[in-house]
C-alpha cells in the first residue's frame, strides 16, 4: 500500500500524517495561517498532489515602516500606523515623513526627546517648534508638508524639495532622502 506523507504546522507544533492510497482522493486539507492566508492541499484522483494558496491582500506599508524603524531602533516605531494614516490623509508618499526624520534627526535619536520634533520642522531664528507627543507632531508635519510643499509641486523630487526645505544644503539632504526612500521601499 502506497503512503503519502505530509506535514502540518499548527500553533508552533509539527504534525506528521500518512494517508493510505485509497483515502487520498477524498482528502482535502484546509488551514488558516495567521488569519491572512488560506492554504489548501488537494490530492487528485491520479494521486498527484498540487498546492494552491489564496492570499488575502493587506496593506504592507505599515509593516515596511515598522521593519525600517525597528532596524534603526527609532522612537517612532510605535507610530508606524500613524505615519501611514497621516500620509494617506494628506496625500503624501507614505515613506516621506520617515525619510525626512532619518535625514534630520537619525529617526529622532539626535533631537531632544521632549520636543517630539524629528523633522527639523519649524526650526528657525525665532525658535524651535515643539510638540506634546509624536502623534501631534506627525499630524502637524504631514499637514505642513502637504500644504507648503506637495501641493506646490515640491515633493515629486527630493532635490526640488530641498531648495525650499533646507536651501543651504550642499545636496546631501536630497541624496539622503532618496537613499532612505529606497531603503524603506526595497530594503537594505
Strand partners, 32: 38
pLDDT of 77 > 60? The answer is yes
Residue 35: predicted pLDDT: 35
CATH topology of domain 61-186: Lysozyme (1.10.530)
Residue 122: predicted pLDDT: 86
Helix (H, G, I), strand (E, B) or coil at 3: strand
Residue 54: predicted pLDDT: 73
Mean pLDDT across the stretch 146-162?
A: 95
Mean pLDDT across the stretch 146-172?
A: 95
Averaged confidence pLDDT in the chain: 80
1: number of Cβ within 10 Å = 6
- Give phi and psi for 32, each to the nearest 5: -105, 125
Domain ranges in the chain? 3-55, 61-186
Please check whether residue 36 is in contact with residue 56, taking contact to mean a CB–CB distance below 8 angstroms: yes
What the block records as the C-alpha cell of 85 is: 494614516
pLDDT of 146 > 90? The answer is yes
pTM exceeds 0.75, yes or no: no
Q: Say how far apart CA 135 and CA 133 lie, in whole Å.
A: 6
Mean pLDDT across the stretch 19-38?
A: 39
Amino acid at each position: 500500500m502506497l503512503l503519502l506523507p505530509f506535514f502540518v504546522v499548527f500553533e508552533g507544533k509539527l504534525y506528521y500524517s500518512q494517508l493510505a492510497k485509497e483515502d487520498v482522493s477524498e482528502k482535502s486539507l484546509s488551514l488558516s495561517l495567521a488569519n491572512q492566508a488560506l492554504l489548501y492541499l488537494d490530492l487528485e484522483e491520479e494521486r498527484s498532489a498540487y498546492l494552491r494558496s489564496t492570499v488575502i491582500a493587506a496593506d504592507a506599508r505599515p509593516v515596511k515602516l515598522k521593519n525600517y524603524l525597528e532596524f534603526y531602533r527609532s522612537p517612532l516605531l510605535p507610530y508606524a500606523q500613524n505615519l501611514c494614516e497621516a500620509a494617506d490623509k494628506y496625500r503624501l508618499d507614505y515613506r516621506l515623513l520617515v525619510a525626512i526624520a532619518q535625514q534630520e534627526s537619525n529617526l529622532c535619536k539626535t533631537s531632544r526627546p521632549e520636543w517630539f520634533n524629528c523633522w527639523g520642522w519649524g526650526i528657525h531664528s525665532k525658535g524651535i517648534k515643539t510638540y506634546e507627543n509624536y502623534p501631534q507632531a506627525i499630524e502637524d508635519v504631514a499637514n505642513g508638508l502637504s500644504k507648503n510643499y506637495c501641493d506646490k509641486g515640491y515633493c515629486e523630487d527630493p532635490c526640488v524639495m530641498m531648495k525650499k526645505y533646507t536651501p543651504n544644503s550642499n545636496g546631501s539632504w536630497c541624496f539622503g532622502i532618496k537613499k532612505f526612500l529606497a531603503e524603506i521601499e526595497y530594503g537594505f
